[in-house]
Amino acid sequence: MAIPPVEIIIAVISAYLLGSLSCAIIFAKWMQLPDPRALGSGNPGATNMLRTGNKTAAALTLAGDCLKGLIPLLVASNLNFSEVALCLMGGAAIIGHMYPVYYQFRGGKGVATTLGALLGVHWPLALIWALVWLSIAKLSAYSSLAAIIATLILPLAAWLLSLPLAVGVLMVVISVLVIWRHRSNIAKLLRGEESRIGTGK
């Protein structure tokens, strides 16, 4: 049975609101750590949480941000939402992380939430993304470069896997959003000023 449009709209809005929760800010307050927005890049994400010196907080942030993108899609999938609806929800969760309503629309760069959404939409894409990210991160030690390259590959991967149009469109949207959110990192990479993983330099 088809899901009523009203329920899809509610699900998309709910995914956005869940995505708007900043795990970095929440865990920083809970663990009495410095506000990640006042450190390094000012980005409330797992990489910046490492700059607090607390690896547990960084790991929790990574897991939480990933689950924000995955949980809504798992629930919707079990309720037999269409692939188009799942893609809309995945995109909404990522946008929520990047532009959270709870924090004056100033959020993170969406990397971990993208991984969670990919797991919910089509797990092989998530695997491809993760393998590319890990490979580039290991070779370059730049988290931002790894995220940029892994995300740019998504539309091509969706095409090569002959995935539905809705998935392909979502991959293009994700790529545009992630690249836009990393524009300052791209400038730093070009100037040789980008911070490497595990360092403040």
Domain membership flag for residue 154 = yes
CA R_g for the chain:
16
Q: What is the pLDDT of residues 69-109, one digit of tens each?
A: 999 999 999 999 999 999 999 999 999 999 999 999 999 99
Domain residue limits at 173: 5-191
Q: How many domains does the chain have?
A: 1
Task: Average the pLDDT over 14-42 and give the result.
Answer: 89
Residue-wise pLDDT for 117-170, tens only, equals 999 999 999 999 999 999 999 999 998 999 999 999 999 999 999 999 999 999
